[in-house]
Structure 1
Amino acid sequence: MNTGRALNDMLTRVLWLGRRIDPLLRPAIDKLVRPPLQGAAQWVVRHRLPDPGPGLARERRIAGEEQIVGEIIATMEKFLRREYGPGQAQRAGNTKTYGVVRGEFEVPDSIPEDLRHGLFARPGTYRAWVRLAGPGPLAPADLHDNAIMSIGVKVTGVPGTKLIEDEKNTQDFLGISAPTFTTPDVRENLQLQQEVWNRTPLLYFIRPGRSHWADLIMQGLYAKTAASPLQATYYSCVPYLLGAGQAVQFRFVVRPFPFRRVPLRPGPDYLREALATTLAERDVIFDMLVQVQTDPRRMPIEHAGVVWPERLSPPVPVAVLRLPRQHFDSPAQRAFADNLSFNPWHALLEHRPLGNQNRARLAIYTILSRVRQQMNAAPPIEPTGSEEFPAKASAR
């Protein structure tokens, strides 16, 4: 084993130990440590930003962007083919599925006029499929993952012209449980994927000469040992159009309910079990809020490591995502979950993804989804929202 991999493995074991004691320390971390440390990290990031130029919702391509994206795809595809055999391929990111559950996406009639675009143009209720998952790139026991969870909301029955044609009637919204993305742009994302290929992902953050300490701090501050995937706020981290010339980020904020605690001896799939137990007992509701870009420098389009300040643009509610009581763990529904493709470009024109990370996702998600489905001999699925599966609870 080389020195870098040995160091990565040692740091990984330290993180696993930290995951076990995190529930005891987390209240103090969130209250006393997170605000000043996040403020310091964000100060450093903001003061290194290039001038974005005038104007809101303006994109600027990175030099060599297409080549960088091609290298990311090639590296991630190699990783998939190395790690998984035929019929066993998983997603290269947001890998471990805790559950794909049925949802209802409701657009109210109280949205401010300037936000009534696309899916939010008029009131309505839509069926949705909601995927709650871990970060990847592998699917270890839950306590050994890095604690940044993900959400994918696929709203079905959405009419209108879409940005890509592989799905005709869906609108996808993707987020993670941290307000900044793991990498600030595609150049750094390529470095991360190269470290993942080398089995040294933690060295991405600390490797001398190209360290990413601010990103490490931000991810670490939100990488808590979760008791349930239903107890997190999920952030888009990257911007999207909302209408013409107006950029937004969005988040899904869960409404309070009697939260669970982390088990004293969590099993390898305790997050799936927590999800199943909660939804067998009650509905869970998330509010979807959007934050409008008002300052091109403090709220950049091309850098995903900056938290958009709420004092410059308070988040505004635009929809309600309801997860009704249900069971979701039958073999048929698991197979359905594995074959779904989530892509931010499954979107109406009014919700076009913005920024280099989103531009890269168009090719990365489309091509890697196709690779995974080919490896598994599984045809792509565009769900209607009316799919039915036999009920079977996963909680034991």
Structure 2
Amino acid sequence: MNQVVDAGLAFLRKIDPYVRPAFDATLRQPLQDAVQWLVNASRRDEQLGIAEERIGPDEQEHTKAIIDVLARLMKREYEPGSFLRAGNTKTYAVVQGSFSVHSGLPSRLRHGVLAQPRTYPACVRFAGPGPFSPPDIRDNGILSIAVKLMGVPGRKLLDDEQHTQDFTALSAPTTTTATLAENLAYREQVFAGSALRYFLNPRSPHLLDLIMQALYARTHTSPLETPYWSCVPYLLGPDQAMKYRLTPTTDTRTAVGWNPPDDYLQQALIHTLHHTDAHFAFDVQLQTDPHRMPIENATVIWPEHLAPHQTVATLTIPQQTIDPAEQFHLADRLRYNPWHALEAHRPLGNQNRARRAVYQQLAQLRQNTNGTTPHEPAPNGRARGPVTRVAPSPF
């Protein structure tokens, strides 16, 4: 049975580039609207205010359990010295870029790194979904981007880096799971090799979440040719919540071919940046309705009609030569964590609160096992020395 399913999925991945443009143009939005209506119909109003969080009683236990199951997966799947990340696993490239804040922003948007027009050097990682690292055509449905701004002044929430601000995003507007408890249940099924059972479990089905992910899981043409969403919210200043999005500003599409090489996404990225620059618009969306735009449920899309996205910066990835042999070494030295942040961009919501410890402890496991010393990248291209201080847990 599994062989039949795998064969069917392999065929769908191959035909996806030919049918996806028409599907996205005609069917994705109405299907998404219907799914989101059903998701919202089952939610209760938590009576929270703008940018207000509610910490659940079991978050610390769930976070520890997620760390445990992901650590066990890493130890099972990878040999010491070659550990990969348990999520956003497959590195396509780590590239140099710049993040330019636009001038003339409204005062309500001018907080943190957006406070004034300025250009920050950036270290940008493009990656695949994980937690495994098969050939690209077999597992490239949801991609990720991690942008590390350098030379950022001010105290950071997590002080294993002192001069950076990280922004992380996925090529889908929602996460797979709504809550930390559901995230743990999903991770346990992935570990057991039965991820589909999580979505189709008759006792606790998550079919709507599966459909939302399927609407955006696709055979990608290049990591440079898809939008990325934060999925989860962040502060923007002292009393506002935002989500953000990075959107490529060109409509180019790299041909995939019927039998692409195992690393075709990396090759597409390398080829593009060998010949030209890449640009992404960085947009923010402010929370205006605490119920329709929840903090604690990352499977809900914040409605555009309640708060449209506003472009506040441009991420530029200049033409550059990428040596594939250096990519895994460079990626292994880096730690991306949304808590590498100014207070003005503090991560919000249960998934984000867990990511602080999950990302930090799994990065430490990966680098300790690989014998890698973590370094904070500096604007001059050199690495700052490692910092060992750790901020206290938010729990």
TM surpasses 0.5: yes
Indicate how the Cα distance of structure 1 residues 214 and 198 shifts in structure 2: closer, same or farther if over 3 A, else same.
same
Aligned-residue offset at 1:332:
3.7
Matched, 1:296 2:286: no
Deviations 1:210-268 (A, max 9, x none): 22111111110111111101110000000000001100000001101532122232110
Match of 1:189?
183
Aligned-residue offset at 1:179:
0.5
Matched, 1:311 2:296: no
Aligned-residue offset at 1:10:
4.6
Aligned-residue offset at 1:13:
3.6
Aligned-residue offset at 1:29:
1.3
Distance in 2 (CA, whole Å) between partners of 1:54 and 1:333 is: 43
Specify every segment of 5 or more residues in structure 1 that has no aligned partner in the other structure, as ranges: 1-5, 390-396
Deviations 1:148-202 (A, max 9, x none): 0000000011010100110000000000000101111111100111011101122
Match of 2:168?
174
Deviations 1:303-360 (A, max 9, x none): 0001111110010111110000001225345411222111000000100000000000
| Runs of 4+, deviation exceeding 6 Å | none
Match of 2:145?
151
Match of 1:16?
10
Q: TM-score, normalised by structure 1?
A: 0.94
Match of 1:91?
85
Distance in 2 (CA, whole Å) between partners of 1:122 and 1:227 is: 35
Distance in 1 (CA, whole Å) between partners of 2:41 and 2:115 is: 37
SS in 1 for 2:190: helix
Matched, 1:111 2:95: no
Indicate how the Cα distance of structure 1 residues 386 and 334 shifts in structure 2: closer, same or farther if over 3 A, else same.
farther
Match of 1:322?
316
Match of 1:46?
40
Q: TM-score, normalised by structure 2?
A: 0.94
Distance in 2 (CA, whole Å) between partners of 1:203 and 1:161 is: 43
Measured on the aligned residues, the alpha-carbon RMSD in Å equals 1.5
Deviations 1:30-87 (A, max 9, x none): 1222122111110111111121214111101123111111111111111111111110
- Report matched runs for 1:1-396 at 5 Å: 7=2, 10-329=4-323, 331-387=325-381
Deviates more, 1:202-211 or 1:152-161: 202-211
Distance in 1 (CA, whole Å) between partners of 2:48 and 2:187 is: 33
Distance in 2 (CA, whole Å) between partners of 1:173 and 1:238 is: 11
Distance in 2 (CA, whole Å) between partners of 1:78 and 1:103 is: 35
Letter in 1 for 2:289: D
| Contact kept in structure 1, 2:245 and 2:284, CA below 8 Å | yes
| Contact kept in structure 2, 1:129 and 1:155, CA below 8 Å | yes
Identity fraction in percent: 48
SS in 2 for 1:202: helix
Distance in 2 (CA, whole Å) between partners of 1:35 and 1:199 is: 31
